[in-house]
Amino acid sequence: MNEPMKPSGGVSRGELLRAFDSLLQPERFKDFGPNGLQVEGRERVKRIVSGVTASLALIDAAVACKADAIFVHHGLFWRGQDGRVTGWMKQRLALLLAHDINLYAYHLPLDAHPELGNNAQLGRVLGLSVVAGEAGRFGDNGLGFLGQRTDGAAFDSPASLAEHVSGALGRQVVCVEAAAAAGQPLRRIAWCSGGAQGYFEAAVAAGAQAFITGEISEPQAHLAREMGVTFIACGHHASERYGAPAVASHLASQLDLSHQFIDIDNPA
């Protein structure tokens, strides 16, 4: 997904927006912020940089790559935020506008795409296959995935699952084990990237023996112990760094554009 930049005739800003919208179908979602083109840049797009969050560091890196557009999961604008353009918001917008770079952002639509989205790609990285049909999805808009190891085997214990996730993502995870589940192999694994700790009970209702997400809040530790279901928090950023490059790479290939994924480290 880190393709080298290559010459391209490019597409219009509007054509690229229509391609993103056609693939991700943002109209299906009631989201926390605007999906699509968040900041208008130059009319012609030849080079795309993808990343997780539209941080100043990512924008700086995109400028260095001479990108025409940035594609991210976490954009600049969120429902209920302070609308004043000061401080960090001014810095990010000023850099985008000074270099005439388009910013495209898709939140829940990027989580949900069944093949290229954050959850589908997280499952791929973890070696998990989703159960076919409606039984393999849960939560609002079917954002949560339920499945098992691609090789059909079970995880021997919560500790072995935690070790597997940690190794696949390259970071330590938080694992809350339930005493009631001790010694039981884990086959039914649910996952939902990012801050999806609120989906835990829906995952349990769907039949999960373990739930993997990015974050954990105080109530989930108690719920995991009381409900006998393992909870693994692997980091918000770590769980959501696969969808954006998958989508951008897919469309770049279709539209003959250059694409580069830039992963700005984030411990959260």
CATH code for the domain of 101: 3.40.1390.30
- Rounded CA-CA distance 249/25 in Å is 18
Chain centroid to CA 185: 28
Question: Is the Cβ–Cβ distance between 51 and 262 less than 8 Å?
Answer: yes
Question: Two tokens at 236?
Answer: 């918000």
Half-sphere exposure in the Cβ direction for 12 (13 Å, CA): 3
* 227 and 126 belong to one structural domain: yes
Residues 6+ apart with CB under 8 A from 78: 32, 33
85 belongs to a structural domain: yes
Residue owning tokens 């069944």:
114
Residues β-bridged to residue 190: 146, 211
Q: In what order do the strands lie in the sheet with 36-39?
A: 36-39, 102-105, 69-74, 47-53, 258-261
- Rounded CA-CA distance 131/148 in Å is 8
* 31 and 142 belong to one structural domain: no
4 belongs to a structural domain: no
* 81 and 125 belong to one structural domain: no
1 belongs to a structural domain: no
Q: At what angle do helices 87-98 and 56-64 cross, to 10 degrees?
A: 10
What spatial distance separates the first Cα and last Cα of the chain, rounded to whole Å?
A: 23
Question: Two tokens at 113?
Answer: 């795409």
In the chain, the percentage of residues whose pLDDT exceeds 90 is: 94
Q: How many domains does the chain have?
A: 2
163 belongs to a structural domain: yes
15 belongs to a structural domain: yes
* 163 and 227 belong to one structural domain: yes
Chain centroid to CA 116: 10
User: Tell me: the pLDDT tens digits for 60-90?
Assistant: 999 999 999 999 999 999 999 999 999 999 9
Per-residue pLDDT of the chain (268 residues; tens, 9 = 90+): 455 544 458 999 999 999 999 999 999 999 999 999 999 999 999 999 999 999 999 999 999 999 999 999 999 999 999 999 999 999 999 999 999 999 999 999 999 999 999 999 999 999 999 999 999 999 998 999 999 999 999 999 999 999 999 999 999 999 999 877 777 899 999 999 999 999 999 999 999 999 999 999 999 999 999 999 999 999 999 999 999 999 999 999 999 999 999 999 999 9
Half-sphere exposure in the Cβ direction for 101 (13 Å, CA): 30
- Rounded CA-CA distance 124/260 in Å is 20
Residues 6+ apart with CB under 8 A from 14: none
- Rounded CA-CA distance 144/202 in Å is 9
Chain centroid to CA 130: 17
- Domain that residue 36 falls in: 11-106+242-261
User: Tell me: the pLDDT tens digits for 149-196?
Assistant: 999 999 999 999 999 999 999 999 999 998 777 778 999 999 999 999
